[in-house]
Amino acid sequence: MPNYRNLKIALGIEAAAVALCAVLLASGVTPGTEPSHPQAPDRKAVSAEDSRDLEQTAAGIWKKESAENQDAGRNADSGNPDSEQKDYIKWVDFDVTAEAMKRACQYDTDTYGKEVHLDWIDLLAILGAKYGGDFKRYRADDLDSIAETLLSGESAVGDYTKDMKYFPYYREAYGAVLGGMVGEYQLEQPPGTDSRPEKSEAESAEETSAHWKSCYGLKAFSPIAKGFPYSDFDDFGVARSYGYRRSHLGHDLMGQVGTPIISVESGRVTALGWNQYGGWRIGIESFDKKRYYYYAHLRQNRPYAEGLKEGDIVQAGDVIGYMGRTGYSKKENVNNIDESHLHFGLQLIFDESQREGSGEIWVSGYELVRFLSGNRSEVIRNDETKEWTRIYQMQDPSAPAS
């Protein structure tokens, strides 16, 4: 595993150098020759204002450790062997654009089963290393150039990235965000869609029922069901004041009460019930335990899909609940939110200590939701029960055997 403590020091030094160089250039002073950093941004294209942004981006990658970890470090210095600090990622700024994700995902899907299969997370991590994590600099031509080089066989990913100091960081960070979203899966197909000419008699007889198709590609879904309108904007980090002043660590999608809420990724339900801030909410953990999805402010009285309970395995695309405006109340089942919406949160977990407390890592879901808006789960309503369910089922091979 990469030594993130050493990377932290190196990244801070580089960010400071970029900022200093930009200030000197802006003031007309010619700096001396600076060390070459293959992954650093093009100095000629960096204004003083951009330099400050880059410095903040670099600093944001490595947030200060929690008080608990700092105390552990002091104890380690004093010779306590039981309190040695672990080396894991402490912070992630995820601002990869929807356009970059869509293009990288297309390369991954198109090359599946080919001699050279491009991994979309590898492609995005290479861009992250080149941009210093700042995807405001994203150009489709940059991604195409990387893909063409790798597809030509001139260089494998390991060779291509060997001089990129921060590629290991971005590969692990972006992998934690996107790791379960592209891959193999089985998708239920409607009757009469099996066009194979060599079908057996038994298979032909079964054409009147649905069947399963092996697929590869995007297997994550928008949190809002297909056909239901919603609006959103980039609201991650804005101020919230109920209870105490804090930053908004999620993404709000405004819509109508009763809109079916969809599980973005397959996983296990680990939290269900009332929360003073989030109202009726659902927590779902990915199978690799790297991602925790938080769906909050669900509908009053009937917040959840019928029968849903803690411990259940859900497939990506399943209906899990319904949009509402509950929350901001110590009393259960209260509508205290002014506008009905879904609060969608995504937490990353690199170490068990990050599940709860000051070490939690929450990332913006805005660009991710934009990307996933192209894959929305089709649902149908049961008029008797008034429940919505997906039309065609999916089977994720990463799900544990029941």
- Per residue in 190-227, pLDDT (tens digit) is 887 655 556 566 555 555 677 899 999 999 999 999 99
Is residue 90 situated within a structural domain?
no
pTM score of the predicted model? 0.78
Is residue 264 situated within a structural domain?
yes
Predicted confidence at residue 372, as pLDDT, reads 99
**CA–CA separation, 23 vs 38, rounded Å?**
21
Q: Same structural domain for residues 18 and 114?
A: no
* CATH code at position 387: 2.70.70.10
What mean pLDDT is predicted for residues 94-120?
98
Is residue 196 situated within a structural domain?
no
Is residue 198 situated within a structural domain?
no
Last residue of a domain, one of 47, 63, 79: 63
Predicted confidence at residue 53, as pLDDT, reads 35
Please, are residues 169 and 126 in contact by the beta-carbon 8 Å criterion? no
Q: Same structural domain for residues 236 and 365?
A: yes
**CA–CA separation, 206 vs 194, rounded Å?**
10
Q: What percent of the chain has pLDDT over 70?
A: 74
**Domains in the chain: how many in total?**
3
Q: Same structural domain for residues 281 and 369?
A: yes
Q: Same structural domain for residues 318 and 376?
A: yes
The first and second tokens of residue 302, run together, are: 């009937």
Is residue 29 situated within a structural domain?
yes
Last residue of a domain, one of 116, 148, 182: 182
Q: Same structural domain for residues 44 and 147?
A: no
399 vs 223: which has the higher pLDDT: 223
Asked whether residue 59 carries a pLDDT value surpassing 90, the answer given is: no
Asked whether residue 60 carries a pLDDT value surpassing 80, the answer given is: no
**CA–CA separation, 259 vs 262, rounded Å?**
10
Which of 36-64 are b and which e, b meaning 16 or more Cβ less than 10 Å from the residue's Cβ?
ebebbbeeeebeeebbbebbebbbebbee
Q: Same structural domain for residues 271 and 158?
A: no
Round the average pLDDT of the chain to a whole number and report it: 82
Please, are residues 94 and 9 in contact by the beta-carbon 8 Å criterion? no
Is residue 203 situated within a structural domain?
no
Predicted confidence at residue 360, as pLDDT, reads 96
Q: Same structural domain for residues 169 and 110?
A: yes
Predicted confidence at residue 400, as pLDDT, reads 87
Is residue 125 situated within a structural domain?
yes
* pLDDT band (50, 70, 90) for residue 65: very low
What mean pLDDT is predicted for residues 49-61?
33
CA dihedral 88, 91, 97, 103 (to 10 degrees): 0
Asked whether residue 25 carries a pLDDT value surpassing 60, the answer given is: no
Per the structure, the complete domain to which residue 22 belongs is given by: 4-63
What mean pLDDT is predicted for residues 27-36?
33
Last residue of a domain, one of 148, 182, 216: 182
* pLDDT band (50, 70, 90) for residue 85: low
User: In 3-state terms, what secondary structure has residue 333?
Assistant: coil
What mean pLDDT is predicted for residues 23-46?
33
Q: Same structural domain for residues 171 and 247?
A: no
- H or E element, residue 285: strand 279-286
Q: Same structural domain for residues 283 and 380?
A: yes
Q: Same structural domain for residues 157 and 285?
A: no
**CA–CA separation, 203 vs 125, rounded Å?**
44
Is residue 11 situated within a structural domain?
yes
Q: What percent of the chain has pLDDT over 90?
A: 68
Positive or negative, the CA dihedral 335, 338, 339, 341 is: negative
Please, are residues 68 and 357 in contact by the beta-carbon 8 Å criterion? yes
* pLDDT band (50, 70, 90) for residue 387: very high
Predicted confidence at residue 86, as pLDDT, reads 78
Q: Same structural domain for residues 57 and 111?
A: no
Q: Same structural domain for residues 246 and 383?
A: yes
**Of 228, 234, 173, whose CA–CA distance to 365 is shortest?**
234
Residue with tokens 């030594």: 3
